[in-house]
Homo-oligomer: A and B are copies of this chain.
Amino acid sequence: MSAPAIGTLYGMARWEPGARERLQAAALELYVRQGFEQTTVEEIARAAGLTERTFFRHFADKREVLFNGQEELERFFLDGIRAAAPDASPLEMVAGALATSAGFFADERRSWSRLRDAVISAHPPLKERELLKMAALAAAMAGALRARGVADRAAVLAAESGVTVFGVAFTQWIAEGETRSLAEVEREVLADLGELAGARAAKR
């Protein structure tokens, strides 16, 4: 259970460290270059200097290799909800989660995110996995909201709306020419949603 000695000064490890990261980098690169279906797991593994068998020890399947920081992202969102004011409304808690989550996506990540998103959007199997991750995120947020005393129905609706806002904001954040931070865009989209729900006469 102790952490392995990675890159000590006194000797090479038995294997090149960072196998997992090498696999992820190789997979993204290959998926971009030649498409998801045209890339075999064997190919990815060899590009990372490993075997197919080892690939499946690090990732449950061929898609999962592109979905890593999920637990961490989830932690950001949940922390945001837990840090909300005691008397905040459900949507305010979600707004807090969105604000916190933006910390996960620093500006340096933008172009990498753009690349990754392009690959995922271009391949339905990858899109499916992403949707599942987002659904899990929404479910976790709903749980956190319930833990804060929000009623069941409201918790689910608020959480799902939060994920929707995140998705729309994220798409805008990686759009060509967009320079604002994710947090800024999220605030704008959230405001749009409020306007949409509040408007009774406004169209277009």
Contacts and interface: CB of A to CB of B under 8 A. Distances in A.
A145 to B, nearest CB: 10
Nearest to A90: B196
B89 A153 contact: no
Contact of A203 (B88, B160, B201): B88
A196 B161 CA distance: 10
A197 B194 contact: yes
Contacts of A87: 203
A174 interface: no
A192 interface: yes
Interface in A142-166: 149-151, 153-154, 156-158, 160-161, 164-165
A103 interface: no
A196 B131 contact: no
A168 B157 contact: yes
A181 to B, nearest CB: 18
A154 B196 contact: yes
A189 interface: yes
A200 interface: yes
Given A131-B128, A153-B168, A156-B168, A197 B198 contact: yes
B158 A161 contact: no
A199 interface: yes
A135 interface: yes
A127 interface: yes
A185 to B, nearest CB: 11
Contacts of A1: none
Interface string A62-97: 000000000000000000000000011111000000
Interface of A: 87-91, 124, 127-129, 131-132, 135, 149-151, 153-154, 156-158, 160-161, 164-165, 167-168, 189, 192-194, 196-204
Given A89-B201, A151-B204, A161-B196, 8 more contacts: A87-B203, A90-B196, A124-B132, A127-B135, A157-B165, A157-B196, A161-B164, A193-B197
